[in-house]
Amino acid sequence: MFYLLKVLIERQIHTLDRPFSYACLTELNPKKGERVIVSFNKKQTIGFIIDDPELIQQDIKEFNKGKTFETLFIDKLIDNSPVLTDEMFELADKVAKYYHSTLISIYKTMLPPSLKPASSFKNKPKEAFVKMITFKKDDDGSLSKLELKALNKIKEKGSVKFTGFGMKKTVAVLLAKGFIEIVDVKVNRLAEYEKKEYVEKKLSEEQLNAYNTIVYKDKKVFLLEGVTGSGKTEVFFKLTEYYRSIGKGVLILEPEIALTSRLVTIFKSKFKDDVAVIHSGETAANLYDEHLRIASGKANIVIGARSAIFAPVNNLGLIILDEEHVGSYKQENEPYFHARTVAIMRSEMLGAKLVLASATPSLETKARAEKKVYEQLYLTKRFTGYALPKVEIIDMANIKNLDTDSIIISIPLRKAIAETIAKNKQAILFINRRGYAPVYSCRKCGKIFKCPNCDVPLTYHKEDNKIKCHHCDYELSAADLKCENCGSEVFSNTGFGTERIVDEVRRLFPMARIARLDSDIASRKKEFNMTLFGFENHDYDILIGTQMIAKGHDFKDVELAVSLMADKSLSIPNYKANEDTFDLLTQLIGRAGRFSNNGKAIIQTYMPENEIINLSANQDYEQFYKFEMHNRKVFQYPPYTFLAIITISGTDSDELETFCYKVKGYLMAELKNARVNIYGPSFPYIKKVNNRYYRKLMLKYKSRQEVEQVFNNLFNLEGKDIKISLDIDPVSDC
């Protein structure tokens, strides 16, 4: 007698994305959702039990008799309880079907790093404990003065940390006599977030209307459209209070780690350990702790970035996507998924309410709201009552605006920064490029240093004096560099990144306190939090950073917000370039003057007449929506069509080109009766990464059903070296 298991193995290959049968001893009592180690193709691999085990009354020899393939016993049962629930299995099925992804890739995305299959051979992270001295009983007259003093100190506090208490000999005596005990107490590694008291705020009439509509109306999906600074966070807070009061879990997503930190600080002040945090900036140990707290029901409010949409929240009643328009909600590598689409799936599955919030909703979301698919709610006024900032567009092509001391800081901007600092107010300067300079070249012969693995120039990082590829892990020390062409050791930096802007501003304003925030800083959690909270507490005058500083923050002393190179994002070859630029500039402008009427924003551009830049300056979302929807209709882009990108890669460029036309021929034959247009093959924005060449095909189609089966069969065309990936509803490089 044994259990027959259906096991999905860890192979992100579409042809192997199906269950395989394995046997398991009955005494192990396996359960659906647990992980196992099995032999597959004579190698050990990890798998998930994806269905309820079937009890077989025969012995294994009798069961295998006459069968083509012998059913093997598993090598090991890893878990004592399921790591995936029925709800997660159902959601994974929906996501995999929609995005044509492998199920195993979705399962892996749902779990913290230490529970992913590849990590299952390793030990789980140790839970965090601290040794505490706890009081047991009062003095019976046998203690010395010193011992009594130590005991009273412990009694007064109930328990104290062993480390740092001192008096080790005295503690040893008290322990031996039974007056105290030393115990290991599990601690929350995320306690550093708990720093700030939340001040209760009364909702405005608009906020109260939004709150009541979401709570009491039967509609399930809501678009909460509010101008920057309209107080959407206060609505989130009140909604969370309500849903927790009726025993429901809450899931709140933010597009950036910086915004997650801000929200966690606010929510932990009220809800304490009921809040869990899930994002890539946390350590594997922290993510493991948080996953266990969520799954066990000890934390019922989850705040996180994109992958937190899969968090195993118990009795989920409310999902909130803040800044729902932001492209970072879409995962750009396999498995491709958009957190908004997954949120819609999950809310439909559970009957939970879904709130999509933004000052600049995505065109797809706005179009659905216009069609009454979603309930539309408005916050038209700033919560503090102050006016939106005045916006000045600086023409960088006009020589009158150029400062002889700087090619990136114009004369009007330099004056505005000086005035802002003189008033003891703050400024934020945005440039969407990290590092010091995006191009590093030989000053003698002009050779540009490129990544040998990818088709991109290396970016110079002054902080550690290295040139780095932002698409793979390749880097070189600039200190040891010699030009391969001419042997020169003298090099030039071209262009601007956040590090260079810091140097430039520091040179112009030597007395100013300057901080920087970008993904390099974000990778160092302690420094990141210190910088963010330091700027909020006005420890700095100027904050320079990438798009993580441009949205969602509520800095009370910021009166000046600046886009240094506003037209850069308009030149990106992407149908969403206009929308992304408008969103980013509108959000950036909204950071200024939240607590005064003196807010000002400056947009530096070489295209001062550009429609998108002017609509952003006027904060005119409705006009932008009409303008851009017209463009989308003319060129047949979403929401008027569906979009898919087929990316094909290989190590041989010529073979790849031939294979691409084979794939296109297959698509044209199979979809000849479908309402679809096929474009390409063409080069993606970056055509070589990690020594693999890339080509892409783009499809615009009217019906998902007409292409579904063809997409499912697409992966059967893959060769040994040729790989195919399919991105449904892409948001970049299209």
Tens of pLDDT along 552-566? 788 899 999 999 999
What was the pLDDT predicted at 634? 96
Looking at the chain, the whole-number percentage of residues with pLDDT higher than 70 is 96
Average pLDDT, the chain: 90
Domain boundaries, the chain: 2-119, 129-186, 193-289+301-307+314-332+344-379, 390-434+497-631, 439-494, 642-728
Q: What whole-number distance in Å separates Cα of residue 697 and Cα of residue 667? A: 10
Tens of pLDDT along 120-173? 555 555 556 678 888 888 887 788 888 888 888 888 877 787 776 777 788 888
CATH of 2-119, one of 3.40.1440.60, 1.10.540.10, 1.10.10.10, 2.70.180.20: 3.40.1440.60
Which of 122-126, 586-590, 665-669, 682-686 has the lowest average pLDDT? Answer: 122-126
Q: Do the Cβ atoms of 78 and 120 come closer than 8 Å?
A: yes
What was the pLDDT predicted at 207? 95
SS (H, E, C) 427-458: EEEECCCCCCECEEEECCCCCECECCCCCCEC
Tens of pLDDT along 4-63? 999 999 888 888 999 999 999 999 999 999 999 999 988 999 999 999 999 999 999 999
Tens of pLDDT along 73-87? 999 999 989 999 999
Fold: same for 390-434+497-631 and 642-728: no
What was the pLDDT predicted at 191? 47
What was the pLDDT predicted at 48? 96
What was the pLDDT predicted at 396? 94
Q: Do the Cβ atoms of 698 and 680 come closer than 8 Å?
A: yes
Amino acid, single-letter form, for residue 536: E
What was the pLDDT predicted at 194? 45
Whether the CA torsion 516, 517, 518, 520 is positive or negative: it is positive
- CB contact set of 656 (below 8 Å; sequence gap of 6+): 648, 649, 650, 693, 695, 722
C-alpha closest to that of 645 among 700, 591, 693, 601: 700
What was the pLDDT predicted at 600? 96
Tens of pLDDT along 603-644? 999 999 999 999 999 999 999 999 999 999 999 999 999 999
DSSP label of 689 = E
Superfamily of domain 390-434+497-631: P-loop containing nucleotide triphosphate hydrolases (3.40.50.300)
Superfamily of domain 193-289+301-307+314-332+344-379: P-loop containing nucleotide triphosphate hydrolases (3.40.50.300)
CATH for the stretch 642-728: 3.30.70.600
pTM of the model: 0.86
* Helix (H) / strand (E) containing 416: helix 411-422
